[in-house]
Structure 1
Amino acid sequence: MPVVDAIVHPYNLSPENEKTSHAPFITRMLSRANHEALGPGYSMPVDKYERDWPMEDVVAMSFLESHADLAAYHVLPIGAFHDGICGVDKALEVLKRWPQRFFVYAGVDPMQGQKALDELEEQYERLERPSGLKLYPNSWVGNEMLGWKMDDPEVAFPLFEKAQNLGIKVVAIHKALPLGPVELSYYAVDDIDRAAMAFPDLQFEVVHGGMGFLDESAWQLARFNNVWLNLESTATMLTTKPRSFEQALATFAARTRKSYDRILWGTGCMVTHPRPHLEKFARFEFSEERMTGWGVPQLDREAKKKILAENYAAMHGFDLEARLDGIKGDDIDQRRTALGDVAAPYSQTSIAEVVY
């Protein structure tokens, strides 16, 4: 089955990149998530995790040590870090070295007003018409964290209009997982309703769908054809809390007439290694209790193909088969062939000697 990882990111977690007092908290949170979401053979020393990750390592983990065929890189506007934690420079590297393998999203802070609109236009040119726009519900100004909502006609709507005018079709928003001791209301999903209604031609990709506000997210899938759920972080529950993952997926299925049409596979590599979650999903089956008690049919191969790749292609409107044909024989394909099998975790990265 083809695999499109809807979000990967080589974080710059080096101490030199910390800009505000919120940065160390975010770094520790991510570092703990790495250790808590992976089983034996996938952990690494903390000092090798809390570093500036090169794009090459994320490429190796996604394509050589796991089974992804395509992936999406998001420029992240987390202002607690000097480069936003995932900067434009690495996106440019992606476009130069692996243009057929990656989709690239721009990223700006809506609370910066006109500056955000100007920056989006600049990134649109530099990133050669990015596929989407990535947003966070917080804005970091000094040591203060401010919040905004997707239905704000003064903060959010001008940015959506700008994206639409540029030709960007997908707006991704981080939800469900609060980045520290901040107001949870900004991470709720109810504000997406009005945005989806006001901009029916935009596709709203809710990142971390199902990690929180599960019922609300499921009802959004049922009510709005332009709302999609990215399983980043939710997918890790396959390894740590399989029954919780089953409940999330069953809830989506129960509310959407079992269609699975707008659910996207995403691992967030390198927050965790992508391989164990993906392999568990390939073997995943609903329990008999879930099927009889909830009326949910077994998750068959066709449904898995939708979640793993076909839905992402539908959201962006590209020909999946043509895109897969375009990567045949590239340097990653050649490296895969030379390896002969999926490589051991971290064995193809710059920290292979330390981990092993």
Structure 2
Amino acid sequence: MHDSDPEGKRLPIKLDSTSNGEFAPVSLWPANIEANRLAHEAAATNAKRLGCSKRAFLTSSCGAASTLLAFNAANAAAGRTGGFFELPRDAALDMQLARAQVGPARQEFILDVQGHFIDTPKGTSKSAEVFLKDVFMDSDTDVMVLSFVPSARDAEPVTIQAADEVRRLVDKLEGTHRLLLHGRVNPNQPGDLKGMDELHERWGISAWKTYTQYGPNGKGYFLHDDVGIRFIEKARALGVKNICIHKGLPFGPRSYEHSQCSDIGVVARRYPDVNFLIYHSGFVSTVTEKAYDASGKSDGIDTLITSLRKHQVKPNSNVYAELGSTWRFLMRDPEQAAHALGKLIVACGENNVLWGTDSIWYGSPQDQIQAFRTFQISAELRER
């Protein structure tokens, strides 16, 4: 097999400006550039100490541990200490210790509730074949939920038929049911409400996926609008009462208000028997995540928290915050990550923050898994 990185130029934990296509790429900050530099420097030094090539070191658990330790050093030097990656310094040189910290010796069950691929010819970087390799062979993911992007019914990058084919392939390869499917529904789009019957009866979807900022002529909708209520009522009638809603990561200024979370508290309070899974948690890449602003005027994740508070939706009830792309972006700034995760745990509940990676837009989710395994919120922020 051809080694695409024989000199070890790629770090195992990626800090870069990659986007999932739903937001404009954001350039790395100076602390990120320094973090990457320190990680390469540490990798070269540690590889020599262990008597192996830099490439061999970086592909090991020690390489991941060494990289995260370098990120800690760069963030601390920049005064970003609200969050950090907790692991002993010896993990950079002790393989058994490193495996216990970053895996796979951790032995968790990992359910990733947001994955994607594009139904394209073989050989492309986002194809089904690459999806299978990145998720089920090159990461510790146990179960993945395949999601869909917003589109018209006759122009879907991935059809439900193609998704089902991949699901059947995973079943054959693994012998267990490791890939679940969403059913894409935009109720403000002709034919989508009617199409819910087929998605349920023929394709056996596990949840619905909708984009409230998307719609005909660029006009979105709120879940508490008439069309949104018809959507929820039909989901209840069909017995698939998991509704996944893209919130945050706005597509642009048009219909921006529909990208925010003001409607979530309304419908969660009205329909306590329906689970509302908030994809991206309302995160906006251009909004700095800080402590919650009780004025209710802040954008980003605060819009979700404000809506839940306003409508008295309690933690650990029927609203779930999903981390796809949100965690991947905030890995570059553990201070913001600590604020974001802390707010979501308090508002949605410790049982209602969902792991999602938005892979394979970012390649294999393994680096996101390794970073999250070790992440901690500082004692100072926890006490606030």
Settle same-fold status: TM greater than 0.5.
yes
Q: Which amino acid aligns with 1:214?
A: I
In 2, the alpha carbon distance for the partners of 1:84 and 1:192 equals: 26
CA shift, 1:210, in A, is 4.9
Question: What is the rounded CA distance, in whole Å, between the counterparts of 2:346 and 2:242 in structure 1?
Answer: 25
Query: Is residue 247 of structure 1 aligned with residue 354 of structure 2?
Result: no
CA–CA separation in structure 2 for the residues paired with 1:123 and 1:275 = 31
> Residues 243 and 200 of structure 1: is their aligned pair in 2 closer, same or farther, counting only changes over 3 Å?
same
Which letter maps to 2:118? Y
Partners of 2:119 and 2:128 within 8 A in 1: no
Kindly report which structure 2 residues correspond to 1:133-282, keeping only aligned pairs within 5 A, or say none: 133-141=208-216, 144-152=217-225, 154-212=226-284, 213-219=300-306, 220=308, 223-224=313-314, 225-255=317-347, 259-273=349-363, 274-282=365-373
Q: State the Cα deviation string for residues 301-330 of structure 1 (Å, max 9, x = none).
A: xxxxxxxxxxxxxxxxxxxxxxxxxxxxxx
Quote the sequence identity (%).
Answer: 26
Match of residue 140, structure 2, among 67, 72, 79 = 67
- 1:126 is the counterpart of 2:202: yes
Larger CA deviation: 191-200 vs 60-69: 191-200
Q: 1:238 Cα deviation (Å)?
A: 4.4
Distance in 2 (CA, whole Å) between partners of 1:244 and 1:210 is: 14
Q: Distance in 1 between matches of 2:305 and 2:253?
A: 26
Greater length-normalized contact order (CA 8 Å, ≥ 6 residues apart)? 1
Larger radius of gyration: 2
Q: Normalized against structure 2, the TM-score is what?
A: 0.60
Query: Structure 2 counterpart of 1:265, which letter?
Result: W
Q: Does the CA-based 8 Å contact 1:172-1:204 persist in structure 2?
A: yes
Look up the match of 1:10: 117
* Residue correspondence of structure 1 range 50-129 to structure 2 within 5 A: 53-79=126-152, 82-99=154-171, 100-112=177-189, 115-127=191-203, 129=204
- Cα deviation for residue 7 of structure 1 reads 0.6
**Aligned partner letter, 1:71:** M
1:1-57 Cα distance to aligned partner (Å, 9 max, x none) = 11011110103589xxxxxxxxxxxxxxxxxxxxxxxxxxxxxxxx965xxx32221
Task: Answer whether contact 2:265 2:313 (CA < 8 A) is retained.
Answer: no
Question: What secondary structure sits across from 1:247 in the alignment?
Answer: helix
Q: Secondary structure at 1:173's aligned position in 2?
A: strand
> Structure 2, unaligned stretches of length 5 or more?
1-107, 172-176, 285-299
Distance 2:118 2:133 in 1: 15
- For 1:132, give the aligned amino acid: A
CA contact (8 A) 2:345 2:353 kept: no
Letter in 2 for 1:248: A
* Amino acid of the structure 2 residue aligned with 1:253: I
Correspondent of 1:287 among 354, 374, 378 = 378
Deviation per CA, 1:252-310: give whole Å up to 9, x if none. 23446xx4110000001011131211100001111233234x2xxxxxxxxxxxxxxxx
Q: How many residues align?
A: 250
Name the residue aligned to 2:54: none
User: Is the deviation greater in 103-112 or in 170-179?
Assistant: 103-112
Give 1:183 shift: 2.6
Give the unaligned 5+ runs of structure 1.
15-46, 295-356
Q: Distance in 2 between matches of 1:227 and 1:234?
A: 17
Q: 1:11 to 1:252 in 2, by over 3 A?
A: same
Cα distance change of structure 1 residues 276 and 116 upon mapping to structure 2, 3 Å threshold: same
Query: In the superposition, relative to structure 1, how do residues 77 and 125 fare at CA in structure 2: closer, same or farther (>3 Å)?
Result: farther
In 1, distance between residues paired with 2:313 and 2:119?
A: 38
Q: Tell me the secondary structure at the aligned position of residue 71 of structure 1.
A: strand
> Can you list the C-alpha shifts for 1:113-145, whole angstroms capped at 9, x where unaligned?
5x2221111122221x2110000113444xx31
Residue in 2 that maps onto 1:323: none
Distance 1:104 1:235 in 2: 22
